[in-house]
Amino acid sequence: MGLVSRGAAEAGRGAASAVDRPGPPDAVPNPTPTPPAEGADPGSSRSPGMVLKAFFPTCCASADSGLLVGRWVPEQSSAVVLAVVHFPFIPIQVKELLAQVQQASQVGVTVLGTWCHRRQEPEESLGHFLEGLGAIFSHRPWFQLCRERGSKSWSCKATHWQGPASPAASGEDQVMLIFYDQRKVLLSQLHPPTALPDRQAGDTTASAGGLAAVFDTVARSEALFQSDRFDEGPVRLSHWQSEGMEASILVELAKWAAGPVCLFLACLLSLISAASACRVFKLWPLSFIWSKLSTCEQLRHRLEQLTLIFSTRKAESPAQLMRKANMLVSVLLDVALGLMLLSWLHRKDLIGQLADALIPVADRVAEELQHLLQWLMGAPAGLKMNRALDQVLGRFFLYHIHLWISYIHLMSPFIERILWHVGLSACLGLTVALSILSDIIALLTFHIYCFYVYGARLYCLKIHGLSSLWRLFRGKKWNVLRQRVDSCSYDLDQLFIGTLLFTILVFLLPTTALYYLVFTLLRLLVVAVQGLIHLLVDLINSLPLYSLGLRLCRPYRLAAGVKFRVLEHETGRPLRLLMQINPLPYSRVVHTYRLPTCGCHPKHSWGSLCRKLFFGELIYPWRQRGNKQD
C-alpha cells in the first residue's frame, strides 16, 4: 500500500482535472482516457478493443522482473494478474506449474505478459529477452508492464500477437492499470448491487459481472497463495501469502479436532430428535400443550440450529457457511447471557425474594380486580347499566377470582422450588429463560384470559345476533349454502319476534360491551408484555452477530462494490487507478444474513387487529396452525 500513499498527491491533481470535465463519469475516451469518478466501473462504456483493463496486485509492485501470471476475461476485456514468476526459470517448468494451479483451483491461469522492475538502468539483453517471451507463451493480448526507477512512473502496453511466425504483425491497445489489494479481494465476499432506478439494467449487469469475475478469479485461486505450496519447486513466485504460521497450526489442530466432536454431537442431537418425535408426545393433550408453550417452540428451534451447526456435511456455498457461523455465535451469546443471568440470580438470592413476594403480589392483584368488578357492578362513570345482567356477570367473575387466588395459595409451598428449577434453565440460554418467563406470565394471568374469553364470546354473540336481526328488518337473510346475503320475505310473527329480540339485545349491549372493553384492555396489557419478551427472544435468535462483527472489525469481508481512486493521469502514461472495497451497509448486512426465528406469536396488521377487537374475535398469544395470518 506504499504505492497508494506515494500516489496520493498525484491522485488529487488527476482527480481535480477529471471531475471538472463534462460527460459521463464512467466514459473512457480515446486516445486520452479520462479517469472515472469514484464508484464507477472503468471502461464500462468504451468500445471493445480500445481500452484494456489490467488488475495488478499491490503486493507485486516491488517484485523482481519476470512473467505476469493470471487469468484473461475476454467478456470484460480484463486481465487479472495473480502472481509474478521471477527469473531465472525454464519455460517447461512454468507450464507445468500453471497446469498444477489449474488442476487445484479450476481456473484458467495462463501467462499474460512480462513484468519489468527497473531498479537500475535496464540492460539491452533483458529488454530483448522480455520481448522474445511473447513468442514462447503465446497469448492475445500480450501485456508488457514496466515500473521505472524511483517508483514514480509506469509504462504498460498490450500487443495483439498473431503467432510465433510473425511477431512483427502486432497492434497496440491502450491499457488502464488498476491496482487491488490481493488479500482483501481474496477474503471478501462480493454482494450483487441493488439496481438503481436511474441506471440502465444492462450497465448495472455489465459492471457487476466485471467485478464479480475479478473477485471470483482471486477467490478460486486461493490454492496459489497457501503456504508457498507452489514456491517449493524450481519456479519462484511473488504473491500475497498468509502470515502467522503459529496461528495456522492452531487453526489446523482445531479443524482436526472439530471432526470427532461434531460427529459425537451430531449423533447425540439425532438421538434427542428421535426421542422428541416419539408417538407418546404426539397424543392430543401433550401435542396441544407443546404447540402452545413458547418454551417448547424455543427448544425445538435451538435443536434445529444445533443440528445444522454440528452437521458433518460441508457447506456448499459461502452463504451457508456464513449462516452456520451466525447461528454458532448466536447460540454462544445466548448461553453466555443465560449463565450471567443465572449467576446474578443466585449471587443475590433473588429467587427466594421473588418467591416470598409472589403471594403478596397475587393477593394485591386479586384485590384490585375485586375492586374493579365492584365498580362495574355499580354505576361506572355514571352509566345506567342493566342491573340484573350486571350482577350476574360481576358475581360470576368474582367467583373465578376466588378460585384462582385459592389455587395460588395452594401452590405457595412449591413456588420457590419451581422458580429454582426455572432459574437453572437459564444455562440453556437466555432465550429459554425468557420463554419460560412468558409461559409463567400466561399461567399467572390465566384468570384474566378466562374473563376476556367470556366477555368476548358474549359480546360477539350479541353483535352477530344484532347483525342478523338487522337483516331481518331489511328483508334479507344469510344463505349458508351459497355464503351470501339473499332476499327473503318474513311474515308478521317473525317480524314481531325479531323486533322483540332486537330490542332486548340493544338494551343489554352496553353492559356486555363495558365488561368486554375492560377485560380486553387487561388482556391487551398482558399480550403487550408477552410481545416484548417474544421480541427480545426473536432479536437474539435472528440477529446475525458474526456478520455484524465482520462488518465492524473487517469491513472489506462483506463488499457491496468497489470505488476507484486516481493515482496517476498524465499524457503519455497509462491511467493508474486504485480499486478500493465499499463495505456493505449495516442495514443490508442485517437484511441479508438475518436468521429465521421460531415465530410462535401471531403477526396481525393494525386493521386486522381493530376488526377483531370490534367484532369480539379472540386474539390468541400464539399462531394458529393451518390458518392464514393477516
pLDDT tens readout for residues 314-366: 777 888 889 989 999 999 999 999 999 888 888 877 888 888 888 888 888 88
Query: With 70 as the cut, is the pLDDT of residue 120 above it?
Result: no
600 falls in which pLDDT band (50, 70, 90)? low
Q: C-alpha cell of 540? A: 437474539
pLDDT at position 328 is 92
- The amino acid at residue 48 is P
The enclosing H or E element of 173 equals: strand 172-180
How many CB atoms are closer than 10 A to CB 3? 17
Instruction: Indicate the DSSP class of residue 107.
Output: -
Query: With 90 as the cut, is the pLDDT of residue 239 above it?
Result: no
Spell out the domain ranges in the chain: 2-243+559-582, 247-344, 348-530
pLDDT at position 7 is 39
298, 598 in Cβ contact below 8 A?
yes
Distance CA 180, CA 402 (A): 76
Averaged pLDDT score across all residues of the chain: 77
Distance CA 154, CA 606 (A): 65
Query: With 50 as the cut, is the pLDDT of residue 200 above it?
Result: no
Instruction: Indicate the DSSP class of residue 600.
Output: -
Residues 6+ apart with CB under 8 A from 504: none
562, 193 in Cβ contact below 8 A?
no
Q: Could you report the per-residue pLDDT of 372-412, keeping only the tens digit for each?
A: 998 888 888 778 788 889 899 999 999 988 888 888 888 88
pLDDT at position 92 is 83
| Bridge partners for 142 per DSSP | 159
Most trustworthy range by pLDDT among 145-149, 199-203, 441-445: 441-445
pLDDT at position 552 is 92
The enclosing H or E element of 125 equals: helix 124-136
Best CA proximity match to 139, nearest among 176, 109, 99: 109
pLDDT at position 32 is 38
How many CB atoms are closer than 10 A to CB 1? 11
Environment class of residue 187 by beta-carbon count within 10 Å: exposed (0-12), middle (13-18) or buried (19+)?
middle
Q: Could you report the per-residue pLDDT of 32-87, keeping only the tens digit for each?
A: 344 443 444 444 444 444 678 889 898 888 888 888 888 888 888 888 988 888 87
Q: C-alpha cell of 132? A: 522474445
Secondary structure, 3-state, 421-482: HHHHHHHHCHHHHHHHHHHHHHHHCHHHHHHHHHHHHHHHHHHHHHHHHHHHHCCEEEECCC
Q: C-alpha cell of 170? A: 502486432
For helices 318-347 and 294-309, the axis angle rounded to 10 degrees is 130
Please name the residue that has the C-alpha cell 535496464: 122
pTM of the model: 0.73
29, 42 in Cβ contact below 8 A?
no
* C-alpha dist (Å) from residue 506 to 130, 172, 458, 472, 495: 102, 94, 13, 15, 16
pLDDT at position 226 is 63
Q: C-alpha cell of 475? A: 328483508
* C-alpha dist (Å) from residue 136 to 132, 139, 167, 407: 7, 9, 11, 94
85, 69 in Cβ contact below 8 A?
yes
